[in-house]
Amino acid sequence: MNGKVWLIGAGPGDHGLLTLRGKDVLEQAEVVVYDALVGQGILCMMPDNAERISVGKRSGDHTLPQDEINALLLTKAMQGKRVVRLKGGDPFLFGRGGEELELLIEHDIPYEIVPGVTSAFAVPAYNGIPVTHRDICSSVHIITGHRKKGRVLSLDFKALCAMHGTLVFLMGIAALPDICGGLLDAGMDPKTPAAVLERGTTAAQKRVIGTVGSLTSLCTKQKVQTPAIIVVGDVCALSERFAWYEKLPLFGVKAVVTRPKERSSALSSMLRQKGAEVIELPAIDTKPLVGNTRLDDAITSLLKKKYDWLVFTSPAGVKTFFSRLMQTGDCRMLNGVQIAVIGQGTQKELMNYGLKADFIPSVYDGQTLGRELAEKTQAGARMLIPRAAAGNQELVEELRRVENVTIDDIPIYETRYKEMGILDLKTLLESGDMIFTMFTSASTVKGFARIAAGLDMTRVKAVCIGKQTQAEAARFGMNTWTAERATLEALTECLQNAAYELRNKEREAMV
Ligand code: SAH
């Protein structure tokens, strides 16, 4: 049976500008065929098990010719696959989306179109430029500035001027002098405000504001990077007043989040809310150990009141423990047992089962948990610690100080290091100065170092949740910053301070 193709617009870059429909379909994809303009945050949303094919087109440099892309979609669909064709912005706006449908129609392949947020509107919006304004202009025109190799740009500049609307040129940077020249020759006032907006809605967003008369020379001085759009019209003058994106506290910062996929969203959304561009690159995942008789025995002994304390050191531990416990009984089996957790994240997971911890240490690490819990418990206490295989030993060493203590330290899940993901880490780490990697545990550091094997670790700026994580990152030679407390809020604050510190250094170096 034939599969189906979804033509999806990924928006201009910012992960939040992918539509809900686009996200739903992407998460179900078996094959994803994607372009170079798709935001990195969105590339990371592709399912791990999907076949991912880059047909990375950037102006003049077509990795795969259009007819081969068309044929590829057809072949994959005929194999019965759910195929997503992911394109920057809106798939039909200068996106050759129409061409990609022809072959599918000929072969009766079902398809759907998921429109996208176009860069033509979103990039001006992220720069504080409303493309129309009641008092200023009443139309907006989107024009391609692309010219075929060796050809001159053939646009009806007289007609464009006559409309008195906002003009947005896509793919026009190489032709910027021709576009401004053409408009001036057609009689446009050289003082008309105009802008070049580059890499909009990403951490690298930048703009050059000038006039039709000055824009070309301003841009040669500042060396524009693509992708970029050109906007011409009085609305460009509003930019300085309406600009908002770069005022967010983490604007300009790219943060690589390495924690396991199912746990990354709280941190990612906190960082995104503050304006960071987030790339999720899970370095580890966790897998429950199977046939775990020690755990099963421990759960059965709960009924015989074998334990006084149940100690959790991670959300994954809570989840794995309870999913096994529920196969035998339910939370009432814990009647009379006190529960200790290492920190807020673990507490939160525990609350999903309707339980609150009796004890959380003042500092969220294994050693403090052990020490403070040891101070609190009486001689002869019996403890169950269901946690990661090869868990940190400091916790147990501290607890052993309790007289006559019994400790059942039971491995219940293993931490696995992930394979290299979709992004080229080397290019990513070297693509700018404001890229930070967020580490919420020593194992994420180890996993990341494996993925990044062979790369220069001294280029990695590691923002770490606590001192054990920091020590691990430092061991690999990374530059480190450590959060004051082991919470996601403190980690976010730490990133903000690190970015601030680096910017100040850059400024000082420039003076
Ligand atoms: N379908 C896309 C446009 C494809 S043509 C859309 O709807 O946005 C490619 C051009 O889009 C680029 O040359 C550039 O002019 C523009 N573009 C795409 N993403 C952009 C971004 N993040 N910032 C600035 N311009 C962008």
Mutational test site, ligand 1, from 37, 206, 207, 225, max ligand atoms within 8 Å of CB: 37
Mutational test site, ligand 1, from 87, 229, 231, max ligand atoms within 8 Å of CB: 229
- Full DSSP string of 6-53: EEEE-BSS-GGGS-HHHHHHHHT-SEEEE-TTS-HHHHTTS-TTSEEE
At residue 264 the predicted structure's pLDDT band, cuts being 50, 70 and 90, is confident
Binding site membership of 119 for ligand 1 (Cβ less than 6 Å): yes
Q: What is the pLDDT of residue 58?
A: 54
Give the residue-averaged pLDDT of 147-163.
Answer: 87
Give the residue-averaged pLDDT of 240-254.
Answer: 97
Please tell me the distance from the alpha carbon of residue 492 to that of residue 498, in angstroms, as a whole number: 10
pLDDT at residue 57 greater than cutoff 80: no
Distance 229 CA to ligand 1 centre (A): 7
Please tell me the distance from the alpha carbon of residue 468 to that of residue 184, in angstroms, as a whole number: 63
Distance 66 CA to ligand 1 centre (A): 18
Please tell me the distance from the alpha carbon of residue 250 to that of residue 270, in angstroms, as a whole number: 11
Active site residues: 35, 57, 171
Write down the residue that tokens 């420039």 correspond to.
510
Binding site membership of 179 for ligand 1 (Cβ less than 6 Å): no
User: Can you name the CATH fold of 4-117?
Assistant: Cobalt-precorrin-4 Transmethylase; domain 1 (3.40.1010)
User: Can you name the CATH fold of 121-247?
Assistant: 3.30.950
Contact call for residues 8 and 88 (beta carbons, < 8 A): no
Query: Percent of the chain scored above 70 by pLDDT?
Result: 98
Give the residue-averaged pLDDT of 210-237.
Answer: 95
506: its two tokens: 């850059």
Binding site membership of 481 for ligand 1 (Cβ less than 6 Å): no
Highest CATH level, class, for 254-283+419-510: alpha beta
Binding site membership of 57 for ligand 1 (Cβ less than 6 Å): no
Please tell me the distance from the alpha carbon of residue 458 to that of residue 476, in angstroms, as a whole number: 8
Annotate 28-46 with b (16+ C-beta within 10 A) or e (fewer). ebbbbbbbebbbbbbbbbb
Which atom in ligand 1 lies closest to the alpha carbon of residue 198? 24
Which residues lie closer than 8 Å to 122 by C-beta, 6 or more apart?
Answer: 11, 12, 14, 17, 89, 200, 201
Q: What is the pLDDT of residue 420?
A: 66
3-class DSSP assignment, residue 477: coil
Report the candidate in 207, 314, 200, 188 with the shortest Cα–Cα distance to residue 262.
Answer: 314
- Full DSSP string of 59-76: TTEESS-HHHHHHHHHHH
pLDDT at residue 419 greater than cutoff 90: no
Q: What is the pLDDT of residue 295?
A: 93
Residue nearest ligand 1's atom 25 by CA: 228
Mutational test site, ligand 1, from 34, 117, 119, 127, max ligand atoms within 8 Å of CB: 119
The domains spanning 4-117 and 254-283+419-510 adopt the same CATH topology: no
Which atom in ligand 1 lies closest to the alpha carbon of residue 119? 8
Phi, psi of 374 (to 5 degrees): -60, -40
Which atom in ligand 1 lies closest to the alpha carbon of residue 87? 1
Distance 228 CA to ligand 1 centre (A): 7
| Neighbour tally for 460: CB within 10 Å | 24
At residue 392 the predicted structure's pLDDT band, cuts being 50, 70 and 90, is confident
| Neighbour tally for 351: CB within 10 Å | 12
44: its two tokens: 């990371």
Contact call for residues 234 and 181 (beta carbons, < 8 A): no
Distance 276 CA to ligand 1 centre (A): 21
Please tell me the distance from the alpha carbon of residue 35 to that of residue 392, in angstroms, as a whole number: 43
Distance 210 CA to ligand 1 centre (A): 21
Alpha helices for 250-292 (secondary structure H): 261-273
Give the residue-averaged pLDDT of 317-340.
Answer: 93
273 versus 393: which is more confidently predicted?
Answer: 273
- Per-residue model confidence as pLDDT tens digits over 59-87: 445 578 999 999 999 999 999 999 999 99
Please tell me the distance from the alpha carbon of residue 219 to that of residue 214, in angstroms, as a whole number: 9
Give the residue-averaged pLDDT of 236-258.
Answer: 96
Contact call for residues 506 and 252 (beta carbons, < 8 A): no
Give the residue-averaged pLDDT of 295-301.
Answer: 92
Most confident of 22-31, 93-102, 502-511: 22-31
Binding site membership of 123 for ligand 1 (Cβ less than 6 Å): yes
- Per-residue model confidence as pLDDT tens digits over 89-145: 999 999 888 889 999 999 999 999 999 999 999 999 999 999 999 999 999 999 999
Distance 169 CA to ligand 1 centre (A): 9
What is the DSSP pairing of strand 479-482 with strand 461-464? parallel
Q: Any idea which architecture 287-417 has in CATH?
A: 3-Layer(aba) Sandwich (3.40)
Q: What ranges do the domains of the chain cover? A: 4-117, 121-247, 254-283+419-510, 287-417
3-class DSSP assignment, residue 168: strand
Distance 37 CA to ligand 1 centre (A): 7
Which atom in ligand 1 lies closest to the alpha carbon of residue 201? 22
